[in-house]
Homo-oligomer: A and B are copies of this chain.
Amino acid sequence: MNVEIIAVGDELLIGQVTDTNSGWIARQLNLMGWELTEVTVVRDRKDEIKKAVLDAFTRVPVVLMTGGLGPTKDDITKKTLCELYGCSLHRDEKVQEMNEERFARKGFTMNELTRDQALVPDACTVIYNPVGTAPVMWFDRDDKVLVSMPGVPSEMQYAVSHEVLPRLRSRFNDHSSVRHATCLVKGYTESGLAIVLADFENELPPYIHLAYLPKPGVIRLRLTATGLDDAEVSSGLEIQFEKLTALLGSHVFCREDVSLAGALGNILRERNLTIATAESCTGGNIAHELTLVPGCSAYYRGSIVSYANDVKTSLLGVSSETIEQNGVVSLPVVEEMVRGVRHALHTDCAIATSGIAGPDGATPGKPVGTVAVAVACGENVVSKMVMAGTQRERNIERFTHSALLQMIDLLTP
């Protein structure tokens, strides 16, 4: 089933807010075997919203709309939908009650604008929103379904997961079962991996599909099985996933769809190891990535961000001579940092970085984008110089990615 999204809001078109909703919805549709075929981002203008809806319905039977449902007068999606469906607004008592309770609980008083969040078009089915004031509106006419949802990501996500997708499946009699299995692979380029997997892919049964999702140094492989018999789909997928991971052997370092930090976390948890980081140029971003993973306190103990050189000396025990002789962006320095932080935080493993994120700081022979990374597991220390690009923010990201991958490499050789 093909779906389009219409994202409404001036804030998206002046670049104040990035539309992350569409990508999130795309992934959810994908997981249930449906396809997002187009996204249109329009301003808060009646004629532009209407035209976008009518155009979309010439191509697909389902349109998901996000945004434009706030209480202020620039949000005109609701009135526009009334015009499109030739109906009026009425007050929904249940929405009104829910919003009153919500405001009372928070100790706020409702003004006229927030009270009107309970006005809904006559032509729609109201889907109640327990996490916000704007209800979800479901329009179903001439075999075409339009669902209008709030643009606030948490509200949209709640509605999509709990209401919209289950209702769409049932509305379009989609009783198919869709299952996924994902693994993370290292040590291959995308094209190299495609050659190794050519026969496997050719021999896949027609109801199972393989997708490559590559990033530098790591490729996410996802098998998707679709069919009507859930047991068959599950067992077929399991067989192929076992075949795939057996084929790739130790190149597979994670059998779950998680972030790189999540994959490292799984390895640490399984092997009952703890970790710390000592960061200079990455400035806490490795720690941040590790702590985005729920439950990371099982293996992550903490970090020392030693941005100033004397902090490297005082808290991590790096010797001033090592810094003087090799420069602060050097393998000897990160090796001392990684040993120092392991010692200071009493962990089994550690990661250390020192580099030049830019725009300043380049030295002869060490341009912006240079980073020294050391990783340690017990007394075993491995260090490496890596080159990234010229943009500060992107360099910090790439240094982080590279350091996490290097730690995974040491633990899963």
Contact = CB atoms under 8 A, between A and B. Distances in A.
B284 A359 contact: no
A38 interface: yes
Interface string A7-33: 000001111111110111111001000
Nearest to A394: B154
Chain A contact surface mostly: mixed
B19 A15 contact: no
Taken together, the copies of this chain in the complex come to 2
Nearest to A31: B15
A239 interface: no
B304 A291 contact: no
A67 B358 CA distance: 27
B36 A38 contact: no
B37 A291 contact: no
A48 B13 CA distance: 22
B292 A396 contact: yes
A250 interface: no
A308 interface: yes
Given A284-B284, A284-B286, A305-B287, A26 B13 contact: yes
A36 B24 contact: no
B294 A283 contact: no
A345 B316 CA distance: 12
B26 A37 contact: no
A195 interface: no
Contact of A36 (B13, B36, B357): B13
Interface string A152-163: 001000000000
A300 interface: yes
Contact of A14 (B36, B287, B389): B36
B284 A392 contact: no
A24 B277 CA distance: 33
A40 interface: yes
A305 B303 contact: yes
Interface of A: 12-20, 22-27, 30, 35-43, 48, 55, 154, 213, 277, 279, 281-288, 290-292, 294-297, 300-308, 311, 315, 344-345, 357-360, 389-394, 396
Question: A-B pairs with the 8 shortest C-beta distances?
Answer: A283-B291, A284-B287, A284-B284, A15-B26, A15-B27, A39-B41, A303-B305, A15-B23
